[in-house]
Structure 1
Amino acid sequence: MPLKAVRLAWRITRLNFRAQLEYRSEFLMMVAIGAVWQVSVIVFATVLLTRFSGMGGWDSSDVLLIPATRMLAHGLFVLFLGRMHGIGYFIQEGQIDVCLVRPLPVHLQVQLRVFPTNAIGDLTVAAGLMAAALGRSHLDWTAGRISYLVAAVLGGMLLEAALFTAVASAALRFPTADYWGRWLEELLGTFGSYPLNVLPRAVGGLLTYGLPLAFVAYFPAAVLTGHGHDTAVPYWLAGASPLLGLLTYLGSRLLWRWSLGHYTGVNG
């Protein structure tokens, strides 16, 4: 992205953030909504740590690293790339047509249309959960492990962004495809926090090879905690999860560009 576009994006983001602050009560409410939205994960973590010693052959402190990684990746996705989720309404209202005549890339305009205040709540809860996971972990957090964890979080963010970008690309042709995004969000929230070996094999296969949600947090956590050889995929593939997230996101952006080139307008 050209430096001029980066500066413009930063200015627009600052203005959007200041606009949100004009209504302090609503701003704080949106932050609270972002935090409350993750209450199911908080309850899961609390029950896991107080009632169970482990799950699926994993120690409870190792299991906790899965939702912590997923939530942190999700919070960053919501903050930086999350406006692709729910783009169906944006398309149905014809606003995407306006973006086509502006000099900035359409994808960038979509991301800059509003500041995601709820991401602050998401990230606050995620950071707290990650701190708890690291504090209870018995692993030796070397520079290599820390670097891999950072890469895993970023890779998880990009993989989630890739999935929602693919849905947004479909919505350019079929606006009702936006409902797939809601289904995808439900899948992430329901199955993204557990070791896949506690689920039926068919479900684990779907979340690995159908919708690769396992690569967001489960496989990186397995590699970090020494369970990488016990997963349903080769160790090298589990370890390459951050790279897979990057490659999948780049592929989704190519799909978005192709879909935008074949976009014929809100009325077809």
Structure 2
Amino acid sequence: MSLKAVRIVWRISLLNIRSAMEYRTEFLLNIAAGAIWQVSVIVFATVLLARFTGMGGWDSSDVLLIPAIRMLAHGLFVLVLGRLHFIGRQIQEGMIDVYLVRPMPVYRQVQLAYFPTNAIGDLTVAAGLMAGALSRSHLDWTVGRISYLIAAVLGGMLLEAALFAVVACAALRFPAADYWSRWLEELLGTFGSYPLNVLPKAVGGLLTYGLPLAFVAYFPAAVLTGHGHTTGVPYWLAAASPLLGVLAYLATRLLWRWSLRHYAGVNG
């Protein structure tokens, strides 16, 4: 992206933020809605710390790191790349046809469509959860471990973006496929906060190799807490989770370009 393109993105982003803040009450309610939407994670963390000493062979403080990584990765995804989540609606409204005639990449226009106010609430909850997880952790947070944690969060963000990008590509051909994004979000929210070794092996395998949810937070947390050899996959694969997130995101960008070239319009 050229310097001129960066300036345009920055100016449009500022305009979107100003537009979102035009109605202050609605702006604050959207932030609150983003935080309230994650209340189940807060309840899970509270019950875990108050009632249980651990889960699946993990200490409770180690388990807490899983939802902390997932929530922070999810909040960043919603803030930076989350507009793909609503691509089905933009396709049905014919906005993609409009984007195609503008002198800016369609993917960029999709991401600049509006400012996701609810992401502020998501990130507020995620930051609080991460702070709590780190304060209760008994790990020695060396430079290497901190660097891996940052890489894990960014890799998780990119992997989640890649998963929703696949749905977006399907929606370019079949607009009704947008329903899959809700199903995907439910799966991420339901299974993303637990050690997958507490689930049946068939389910754990599906969430590892079919829908690679395990690479978002479970495997990185396992590597950080010393459980990397008990995840059921080779240690190097679990440790490579951040890199796999980057590769998956780059692959889905290529898939997006291919899908866009074959886009036939909202009416097919």
TM over 0.5: yes
Secondary structure of 2:193's counterpart equals coil
CA distance in 2, matches of 1:2, 1:107: 16
Matching residue of 1:178 = 178
1:86 and 1:114 map into 2 onto residues whose CA distance is 11
Q: CA deviation at 1:127?
A: 0.2
Aligned equivalent of 2:143: 143
Q: Secondary structure at the match of 1:86?
A: helix
Q: Deviations over 1:156-209 (max 9, x none)?
A: 000000000110001000000101110000000000000001001111000000
Asked whether 1:69 is paired with 2:89, we answer no
Deviations 1:23-79 (A, max 9, x none): 000000000000000000000000000000000000000000000000000000000
TM-score by length of 2: 1.00
- Alignment correspondent of 1:56: 56
Question: Which position in structure 1 is the counterpart of 2:209?
Answer: 209
Structure 1 unmatched ranges of 5 or more: none
Aligned to 1:249: 249
The TM-score with structure 1 as length reference comes to 1.00
SS in 2 for 1:34: helix
SS in structure 1 opposite 2:115?
coil
Where does 1:40-51 land on structure 2 (aligned, <5 Å)? 40-51=40-51
Q: Quote the RMSD (CA, aligned, Å).
A: 0.4
Q: Does 1:81 align with 2:67?
A: no
Counterpart in 2 of 1:3? 3
Q: Secondary structure at the match of 1:85?
A: helix
Equivalent residue, structure 2, for 1:133: 133
User: Sequence identity of aligned pairs in percent?
Assistant: 82
In 1, Cα distance between equivalents of 2:77 and 2:221: 19
Aligned residue pairs, count: 268
CA distance in 2, matches of 1:76, 1:228: 25
**Residue 22 of structure 1 pairs with residue 38 of structure 2:** no
**Deviation of 1:112 (Å):** 0.3
Question: How many Å separate the matches in 2 of 1:40 and 1:253?
Answer: 32
Q: 1:227 and 1:199 mapped to 2: Cα distance?
A: 16
Q: After the TM superposition, which parts of structure 1 deviate over 3 Å for at least 4 consecutive aligned residues?
A: none
- Separation (CA, whole Å) in 1 of partners of 2:254 and 2:51: 46
How far 1:232 sits from its partner (Å)?
Answer: 1.1
| 1:141 alignment partner, SS class | coil
Task: After TM superposition, list the pairs within 5 Å mapping 1:26-41 onto structure 2.
Answer: 26-41=26-41
